[in-house]
């Protein structure tokens, strides 16, 4: 029994392509878990410790429930005999984590992770069952992936760090990035109308022909994955506020992580221009890194007004970052990760600094990541509220207070501008079922979406007529 009580940390680094097993690393020692494991081990001696721990976590640490599941699902002789039980994934022990309702986590099915621990997932089916993501390994033909990687490594030489304000300090992100859109006209719009972290983006580029070609492939795959997710995880119906039409990316952030220490801290992607329940297609090239996700948990907070609560939330120092545990998804070269509609509002993600990395034959120590996104026309800054400071308001969702959990609001963003204080501006955001803004009195988002769809249809028809339509079939809606 002693051998179980002092369980050693394990550093997992199996090859995802080989369908490696999930594993857990502890961030803090927790003796009671070891004791529970010892009990489970004595009841189910044929099963290994890592697997028992995974299943124990799936049952929120309840030994009896874990043991019941094991008894129900394992072959009769596996608990007492010497049979070797092979376990290639968590599938047979899955708990339902379907994300179709936006409710505080305590009211939902249990998450497969726990305080202070990181669960490492490799198997695509485990990833889609236990996180709001799906992954496709070896996404592009190998030469195409290498060629895009080479092009972006070259581009990334002129990428810059972004600077923003955090707790009254001006800090820069510990990695570099570039921003790409579909046309010259969109580039001008981005430079002059959109605001990021309180500043305008000076360096906006147009998608290279390779990024355009890959975009069409990503679009096709992401739309397939969205439908699959709706069918298998959302009960056959898109989420409330999720955009109903096909996902049509029109912008891409390209991130470069040069060496193991470059990273991105815990965050959710800004909803301001993507709207609620956005989907993002994220292609990784070069060095394998860990993409970590964790569920956002409500905190008990004491703020009395909505403005105070909104400010507290935007200044949240992530003190509860480890309460639900973390899941690490390993992103190897040429893998496409789809962040589904249940991701941004309910989970945070990060790229953790790495202790060590395996150099990539083309990229050396560098990792390139492309996140394709759809900027919704209804969320163009001309259509959304502007606060008295003159900075377009940012769209956020309540994730701190249980009360109003999941409600969206607009707030002043000047607090993120170096040298500026935020004003009192606060407005609840209202959307129709498809996530289009309601009641802003400044442009009809539905009309904008109809116009965009019509334009796309016209382009498709023109291409059909001239017999030029390719397999992806997508051209940027606003390309001239």
326: contact with ligand AKG by CB under 6 A: no
Cβ count near 420 (within 10 Å): 15
Q: How far is the CB of 106 from ligand AKG (least distance, A)?
A: 27
Q: How far is the CB of 253 from ligand AKG (least distance, A)?
A: 5
Distance CA 392, CA 395 (A): 10
Q: How many residues does the chain have?
A: 480
Residue numbers 328-387 binding ligand AKG by CB under 6 A: 349, 351, 369, 371
Q: How far is the CB of 314 from Fe ion (least distance, A)?
A: 16
Report the largest interatomic distance among the alpha carbons of the chain, rounded to a whole angstrom. Answer: 75
Would you give the binding string for Fe ion spanning residues 258-277, x where CB under 5 A is met?
A: -----------x--------
255: contact with ligand AKG by CB under 6 A: yes
Tokens representing residue 114 in the block: 């726990």
Would you give the binding string for ligand AKG spanning residues 291-320, x where CB under 6 A is met?
A: x-----------------------------
**Residue 416 interaction partner, one of Fe ion, ligand AKG, none, beta carbon < 5-8 Å per kind:** none
Which listed residue (144, 220, 228, 269) binds ligand AKG by CB under 6 A? 269
Q: How far is the CB of 388 from ligand AKG (least distance, A)?
A: 29
Nearest to 121 by CA among 334, 321, 337, 320: 337
288: contact with ligand AKG by CB under 6 A: no
Nearest to 447 by CA among 398, 381, 365, 383: 383
Beta strands in 115-272 (DSSP E): 117-121, 133-136, 163-166, 169-172, 176-181, 204-206, 251-258, 264-267
Contacts of 136 (CB under 8 A, 6+ apart): 124, 221, 225, 335, 336, 338
**With respect to Fe ion, which residue has the nearer C-beta, 4 or 266?**
266
**With respect to ligand AKG, which residue has the nearer C-beta, 179 or 426?**
179
Cα 109 off chain centre by: 20
264: contact with ligand AKG by CB under 6 A: yes
Cβ count near 370 (within 10 Å): 24
**With respect to ligand AKG, which residue has the nearer C-beta, 110 or 175?**
175
Q: How many residues bind ligand AKG (CB under 6 A)?
A: 10
Q: How far is the CB of 253 from Fe ion (least distance, A)?
A: 8
CA distances from 475 to 178, 371, 449, 470, 478 (A): 21, 18, 16, 10, 9
Tokens representing residue 250 in the block: 């029109």
322: contact with Fe ion by CB under 5 A: no
**Residue 195 interaction partner, one of Fe ion, ligand AKG, none, beta carbon < 5-8 Å per kind:** none
Would you give the DSSP letter of residue 218? H
**With respect to ligand AKG, which residue has the nearer C-beta, 131 or 371?**
371
Q: How far is the CB of 127 from Fe ion (least distance, A)?
A: 17
**With respect to Fe ion, which residue has the nearer C-beta, 49 or 282?**
282
Tokens representing residue 258 in the block: 């040069």
Q: How far is the CB of 254 from Fe ion (least distance, A)?
A: 13
**With respect to ligand AKG, which residue has the nearer C-beta, 21 or 369?**
369
Q: How many residues bind Fe ion (CB under 5 A)?
A: 1
**With respect to ligand AKG, which residue has the nearer C-beta, 264 or 341?**
264
Distance CA 391, CA 376 (A): 19
Buried b (16+ CB within 10 A) or exposed e, 247-279: bbbbbbbbbbbbebebbbbbebbebbbbbbbbb
Residues in touch with Fe ion (CB under 5 A): 269
Interface with ligand AKG by CB under 6 A: which residues? 253, 255, 264, 269, 282, 291, 349, 351, 369, 371
């Amino acid at each position: 029994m002693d051998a179980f009580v002092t369980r050693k940390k394990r550093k997992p680094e199996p090859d995802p392509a080989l369908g490696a097993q999930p594993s857990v690393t502890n961030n803090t020692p927790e003796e009671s878990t070891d004791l529970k494991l010892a009990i489970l081990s004595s009841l189910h001696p044929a099963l290994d410790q890592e697997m028992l721990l995974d299943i124990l976590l799936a049952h929120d640490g309840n030994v009896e429930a874990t043991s019941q599941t094991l008894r129900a699902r394992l072959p009769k002789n596996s608990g007492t005999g010497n049979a070797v039980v092979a376990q290639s994934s968590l599938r047979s022990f899955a708990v339902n984590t379907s994300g179709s309702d936006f409710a505080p986590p305590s009211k939902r099915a249990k998450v497969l992770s726990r305080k202070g621990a990181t669960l490492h997932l490799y198997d695509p089916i485990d990833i889609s069952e236990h996180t709001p993501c799906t992954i496709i390994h070896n996404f592009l033909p190998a030469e195409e992936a290498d060629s895009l990687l080479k092009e972006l490594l070259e581009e990334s030489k002129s990428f810059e760090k972004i600077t923003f304000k955090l707790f009254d300090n001006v800090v820069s992100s510990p990695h570099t990035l570039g921003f790409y859109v579909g046309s010259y006209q969109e580039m001008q719009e981005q430079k002059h109308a959109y605001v990021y972290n309180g500043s305008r983006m000076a360096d906006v580029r147009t998608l290279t022909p390779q990024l355009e070609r890959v975009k069409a492939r990503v679009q096709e795959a992401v739309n397939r994955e969205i439908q699959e997710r709706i069918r298998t995880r959302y009960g056959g119906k898109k989420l409330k506020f999720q955009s109903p039409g096909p996902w049509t990316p029109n912008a891409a952030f390209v991130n470069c992580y040069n060496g193991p220490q470059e990273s991105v801290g815990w965050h959710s992607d800004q909803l301001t221009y993507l709207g609620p329940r956005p989907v993002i297609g994220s292609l990784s090239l070069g060095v394998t890194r860990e993409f970590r996700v964790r569920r956002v948990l409500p905190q008990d907070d004491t703020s009395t007004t909505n403005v105070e609560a909104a400010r507290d939330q935007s200044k949240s120092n992530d003190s509860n970052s480890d309460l639900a545990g973390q899941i690490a998804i390993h992103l190897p070269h040429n893998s496409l990760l789809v962040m589904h509609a249940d991701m941004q509002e309910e989970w945070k993600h990060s790229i953790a600094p790495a202790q060590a990395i395996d150099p990539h034959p083309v990229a050396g120590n560098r990792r390139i990541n492309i996140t394709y996104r759809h900027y919704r026309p209804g969320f163009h800054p001309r259509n959304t509220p502007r606060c008295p400071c003159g900075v377009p308001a940012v769209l956020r969702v309540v994730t701190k207070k249980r009360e109003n959990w999941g409600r969206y609001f607009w707030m002043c963003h000047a607090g993120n501008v170096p040298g500026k204080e935020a004003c009192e501006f606060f407005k609840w955001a209202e959307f129709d079922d498809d996530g289009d803004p309601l009641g802003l009195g400044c442009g009809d988002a539905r009309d904008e979406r109809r116009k965009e769809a019509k334009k796309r249809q016209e382009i498709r028809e023109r291409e059909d007529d001239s017999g030029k339509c390719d397999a992806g079939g997508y051209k940027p809606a606003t390309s001239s």
